[in-house]
Structure 1
């Protein structure tokens, strides 16, 4: 789960909602360059199968109003702003300098002159939103069940959970930060920031046009990740359908976040041989142990000269592999983070894990439980933050808005 990528919904293929080929779906059309825009409108939200950008600003909000109408108004305002921002425009009609001098500007202005930079904005609804405040208690999807407590996790409540989340991904960090800043500005008095996370250096590829990146431990990350070109697999294991029990989520997906801090200094004193045994892959090429190339098939039955398995029973790649979890997968698009130091000369650094799936109960949960119990990598990492969000379907046109299917159907 931390590294090489896959978990999944073991038996969620039958009766799947028919979907268009993701190669033709506007939200995942390729931007013409790293400075160009992605379409905002479409069947699915952009920022899920969109080719992973280089930078992240992720934020979780608490809703501070108890008025359902105010919350719907905010979602409509946010949607209009997001449609503009993702196309490289300012967040409001008058922008940073076009309004009355006596009034606060419609945009904060720090992205003036910058292109769209592939910005995508993706919203999700946390389980805490489905309480008694807004009449949504009966609409909470079964797949949005609280995650169990995993062995060894050291979660910090203040940087976990949230009523709403917004994921901003872009190739320019200032563009991503500008987008989140303006959504928070628009939401003043209705929402407050609960926690946020900056990320750099994507740790997964979501398209076969992208090379596999490396995590801060130096290993290629996400080799077995689902890709946007895998249309059949995505229909089976990524996109929710009406038949899953919550019709309003059809075309949406479920997002799990985990902030995973690495004990960098200890890892850096570990031998190369041990590092490779822990991951089950060659550090240079990314090949499975015993093979030569990154994408060579894993052979869990192969043995070395000593008669022991080439890939150990507690190796990360074995425990996370789909063949041990009903041939199930996650779509991962996490990021590295470095949040300074902890005051003792140790880097506060690691992986901000992001994964989308059709049902976390059948995907993230069983794989993470296996990893938490058995993964030899656990000596060098700890999970300090968690989040689970239902990401609704895409916005179809300018008359639509984020979450309309939840509030109006």
Structure 2
């Protein structure tokens, strides 16, 4: 490994849980469908699982509790994830394979009523899409745009989840939300070595759409953006093509773009005790409306892949503190063997002092843990250098962003991985709890 450290690091390994036309006959033209015609769909609540949401809610797939089950006749049913519940889907949900993450700013001139109406509309649309249905609306008017963009017709729901979050700027004086600001929601401080690009940083709102089909995930964000015309403006978006962590031991540990297993020691999201201690916002939060929610921290982490690909295997393993082939810690034989941070050989630690897993380990951070849910990304090729552009789109959930800040101050200053990565984008958002039957995001936010 070269001796010149480059700035920044984030939990790129995270192994310690820290840091897929024929024209239709013309129909009688109904009256144009406005966004507000969708609002009545929300009141159906949980019963929406068995019926289309509005006249345009064409069913695309059969609702079921998970993959591998069969419908009458023996055909497999498409997997869906419950939209409503105590917590928003897309956090403890077993990680899907694809991501579309987008942030928005409220448009100049938009009012409190506009934003509340949009969030109510988004609720109906998101719930319909997670069920594999089209965005609800009219039966079709040849003289107006369709109510759904249509690219997901014929596709299964792909375990789509749609998760919403609110950035610090939303709680200023524009919409009367200052008094409802979650207590820990504030911009992240400057962190060691980062070089943030404002074009991929911040936002008033975020939408995380995860699915096992990239077109399903993109379809969800595209339609929410379409419904937001005039009320919100897109700020930035990221597409993730491969998950870089597992939220359940039942999932195989994936590998990041550096070729190492990623997320070996991530939180098991099925463990409610651990989730309650580290991820869910609890009774200590004075803002009751956000209890049961979480905080989402996103970081776009660029990998210097050509530089990494020229490094010798032994040094790559020292950087992570794990064997590349098996994922085992350098003191073990199996992936899930506990690291022995005290083990020495020839007077030196077997797991180097600046290795990623040592610095990120809960044992060395007073038990600090966060739930990682990141994805790999690519931005193509640098036209000047010919280098591949890509890396890790890091997403993590925690009950206070201070957990990430504490961890990143250590990693950003000391992690050997900093030679090969740099944080170039960032976001922090309060993620409210899930919705009960009849609730919607607009009334949840504004009270």
Both structures adopt the same fold (TM-score exceeding 0.5): yes
2-structure distance, mates of 1:406, 1:178: 25
Which residue number in structure 1 is paired with residue 34 of structure 2? none
Which residue number in structure 1 is paired with residue 53 of structure 2? none
After superposition, where does 1:148-159 map in structure 2 within 5 Å? 148-159=189-200
Question: Of 353, 369, 379, which residue of structure 1 is paired with 2:419?
Answer: 379
The answer to whether 1:124 aligns with 2:168 is no
After superposition, where does 1:283-298 map in structure 2 within 5 Å? 283-298=324-339
1-structure distance, mates of 2:364, 2:308: 27
The answer (yes or no) to whether the contact 1:320–1:367 under 8 Å persists in 2 is: yes
Question: Of 76, 82, 101, which residue of structure 2 is paired with 1:58?
Answer: 101
1-structure distance, mates of 2:218, 2:446: 28
After superposition, where does 1:201-350 map in structure 2 within 5 Å? 201-304=242-345, 306-343=346-383, 344-350=385-391
1-structure distance, mates of 2:312, 2:268: 33
The answer to whether 1:171 aligns with 2:209 is no
2-structure distance, mates of 1:314, 1:387: 26
Which residue number in structure 1 is paired with residue 127 of structure 2? 83
How far is the alpha carbon of 1:406 from its aligned partner?
A: 2.9
1:209-240 Cα offsets, whole Å, 9 max, x none, are: 10100000000001111112211100111110
**Secondary structure of 2:240 counterpart:** strand
How far is the alpha carbon of 1:30 from its aligned partner?
A: 5.8
**Secondary structure of 2:289 counterpart:** helix
How far is the alpha carbon of 1:360 from its aligned partner?
A: 1.2
**Secondary structure of 1:242 counterpart:** coil
2-structure distance, mates of 1:285, 1:403: 47
The answer (yes or no) to whether the contact 1:394–1:402 under 8 Å persists in 2 is: no
1-structure distance, mates of 2:445, 2:223: 24
The answer (yes or no) to whether the contact 2:18–2:372 under 8 Å persists in 1 is: no
Task: Note the residue ranges of structure 2 that are not aligned, 5 or more in a row.
Answer: 1-10, 20-48, 50-63, 69-76
The answer (yes or no) to whether the contact 1:290–1:310 under 8 Å persists in 2 is: yes
The answer to whether 1:112 aligns with 2:153 is yes
**Secondary structure of 2:441 counterpart:** coil
Which residue number in structure 2 is paired with residue 144 of structure 1? 185
2-structure distance, mates of 1:123, 1:229: 21
How far is the alpha carbon of 1:93 from its aligned partner?
A: 3.0
Which residue number in structure 2 is paired with residue 42 of structure 1? 85
How far is the alpha carbon of 1:325 from its aligned partner?
A: 1.7
1-structure distance, mates of 2:286, 2:323: 43
1-structure distance, mates of 2:163, 2:272: 20
Alpha carbons of structure 1 residues 374 and 81: separation in structure 2 relative to 1, 3 Å: same
TM-score normalised according to structure 2 size: 0.84
How far is the alpha carbon of 1:208 from its aligned partner?
A: 1.5
The answer to whether 1:366 aligns with 2:409 is no
How far is the alpha carbon of 1:32 from its aligned partner?
A: 2.3
Which residue number in structure 1 is paired with residue 27 of structure 2? none
2-structure distance, mates of 1:72, 1:293: 51
**Secondary structure of 2:241 counterpart:** strand
2-structure distance, mates of 1:39, 1:263: 39
The answer to whether 1:32 aligns with 2:57 is no
2-structure distance, mates of 1:369, 1:157: 21
**Secondary structure of 2:302 counterpart:** strand
The answer (yes or no) to whether the contact 1:170–1:176 under 8 Å persists in 2 is: yes
2-structure distance, mates of 1:358, 1:153: 23
Which residue number in structure 2 is paired with residue 188 of structure 1? 229
TM-score normalised according to structure 1 size: 0.91
Which residue number in structure 1 is paired with residue 16 of structure 2? 5
Larger radius of gyration: 2
How far is the alpha carbon of 1:40 from its aligned partner?
A: 0.6
How far is the alpha carbon of 1:287 from its aligned partner?
A: 0.5
Which residue number in structure 2 is paired with residue 23 of structure 1? none
1:229-252 Cα offsets, whole Å, 9 max, x none, are: 211100111110232222111110
1:147-201 Cα offsets, whole Å, 9 max, x none, are: 1111211100111000000000000000001110000000000001100000011
How far is the alpha carbon of 1:290 from its aligned partner?
A: 1.9
How far is the alpha carbon of 1:307 from its aligned partner?
A: 2.0
Which residue number in structure 2 is paired with residue 68 of structure 1? 112
1-structure distance, mates of 2:394, 2:269: 18
- Farther off after superposition, 236-245 or 373-382: 236-245
Which residue number in structure 1 is paired with residue 439 of structure 2? 400
1-structure distance, mates of 2:137, 2:264: 43
